[in-house]
Amino acid sequence: MIEIRTSDPAKFDRLAGLCGEMRAGMGIGSECCVHRLPSVEQVEAVAGQIDGLTVVTPITPQKHYEWMLGFIRSLPAGIRLVVNDVGVLYALHREGGLEDFCAVVAGRGIVHTSEACPWVDHLIRDEFEDVKAAFLQTNLNYSRTLEFMKGMGISAMETDLESRTIRAARTTGLPVGAHAEYIVVSYARSCHTARFFGERPPHCVQRCNNPMELELVDMFDLSGTPPGFAQPSPQMLEIFPTLHLLGNTVYFKSDCKDTTGLERVILNAQMYTDDALKQAIGTFEDK
């Protein structure tokens, strides 16, 4: 199954139409910013157009914790809920607030993977094979963590579409959804985009509808006196990919297309033009 996601309410109706045309699922919400969540009324409106709607909830700062719980409690029954915050998940489980969802999914904020580092092979190139294998597991491949998450109601998981990560994720026995093409390198507690434009959340939310490209220009150099910035070496430039910034999340582009054994493939509509999104859907539909 292909699922198209966005956190931009201006795209909800257009994407609902596209999902119907392409026979794709739809997801709305954000993995990483409470200010990018739709209203409950918007969720209800989209749920009336899309069967099996996914609502994505973010990594949540403490000051928004109670609000987030209230938002999730108010969601309509029957949707598929993606949770990216363990504290939020634990609170909902403890109060019995997860029974009305058709599935509760551990998102990328919970399911960490080391393969999402663009230079992971350089980090582990000198390690023994068993160390490499252990390093490339998701954190849900640890049996106690997996049972803990399942005990709190997790019935599926999401991670990035990277071949070794997917092989590891499938061994958990949970249905696996994979985010294709744009792989999360890092989430920022203090939003890069808000700082760049000099705006304080939530006044910066309109900045997060389209990605920006990041290139390595200089690096912090501790060897100087005093320490400062220096030009990257040619070797560093060879392994440093072009990165993409959307909101407080940094991504890199992955070429992995192997979707063997996946329950769904997820595409972030905000990373594409309309034509490029249709092309991406077609690429993965053919698999």
Give the tens place of pLDDT for each residue, 187-197.
988 899 999 99
Given a contact cutoff of 8 angstroms between Cβ atoms, the answer to whether 108 and 114 are in contact is no
Sign, Cα dihedral of 123, 127, 129, 134: negative
- Higher per-residue pLDDT: 285 or 178: 178
CA distance 151 to 9: 33
Sign, Cα dihedral of 188, 82, 99, 35: positive
The answer to whether residue 187 is domain-embedded is no
Query: What was the pLDDT predicted at 117?
Result: 87
- Of the pLDDT bands very low, low, confident and very high (cuts 50, 70, 90), residue 105 is very high
The encoded tokens of residue 54 equal 């996914």
For the domain that residue 63 is a member of, what is the CATH number? 3.20.20.70
- Where is 187: in which H helix or E strand? strand 182-187
The answer to whether residue 145 is domain-embedded is yes
What's the mean pLDDT when you consider all of the chain? 93
The answer to whether residue 224 is domain-embedded is no
Give the tens place of pLDDT for each residue, 175-188.
999 999 999 999 98
- Of the pLDDT bands very low, low, confident and very high (cuts 50, 70, 90), residue 286 is low
Beta bridge partners of 122: none
In whole angstroms, how large is the CA radius of gyration of the chain? 19
Q: What is the pTM of this model?
A: 0.92
For residue 33, which of 253, 197, 187, 250 has the smallest C-alpha distance?
187
**How far, in whole angstroms, is CA 84 from its chain's centroid?**
9
Query: What was the pLDDT predicted at 7?
Result: 96
- DSSP per position, 8-62: -GGGHHHHHHHHHHHT-EEEEE-SS-GGGPPPHHHHHHHHTTSTT-EEEE----G
Backbone φ, ψ for residue 73 (5° rounding): -60, -30
Instruction: State the residue for tokens 């998981």.
Output: 157
Query: What was the pLDDT predicted at 235?
Result: 78
**DSSP state, residue 155:** -
Do the strands 243-246 and 54-57 form a parallel or antiparallel pair, or are they unpaired? unpaired
The encoded tokens of residue 42 equal 């918007």
User: What average pLDDT does this structure show over 242-265?
Assistant: 94
List the end-to-end C-alpha distance of the chain, in Å, as a whole number: 10
The answer to whether residue 217 is domain-embedded is no
Instruction: State the residue for tokens 């700062």.
Output: 61
Domain span holding position 91: 2-180+255-285
Q: Is the pLDDT of residue 285 over 80?
A: no
Q: Is the pLDDT of residue 274 over 60?
A: yes
Given a contact cutoff of 8 angstroms between Cβ atoms, the answer to whether 31 and 59 are in contact is yes
What's the structural domain count of the chain? 1
Backbone φ, ψ for residue 183 (5° rounding): -100, 135
The answer to whether residue 185 is domain-embedded is no
Give the tens place of pLDDT for each residue, 119-170.
898 889 999 999 998 999 999 999 999 999 999 999 999 999 999 999 999 9
Cβ partners under 8 Å of residue 67, min gap 6: 34
CA distance 2 to 239: 31
Give the tens place of pLDDT for each residue, 50-75.
999 999 999 999 999 999 999 999 99
Secondary structure of 33-46 in HEC code, one letter for each residue: CHHHCCCHHHHHHH
Give the tens place of pLDDT for each residue, 10-22.
999 999 999 999 8
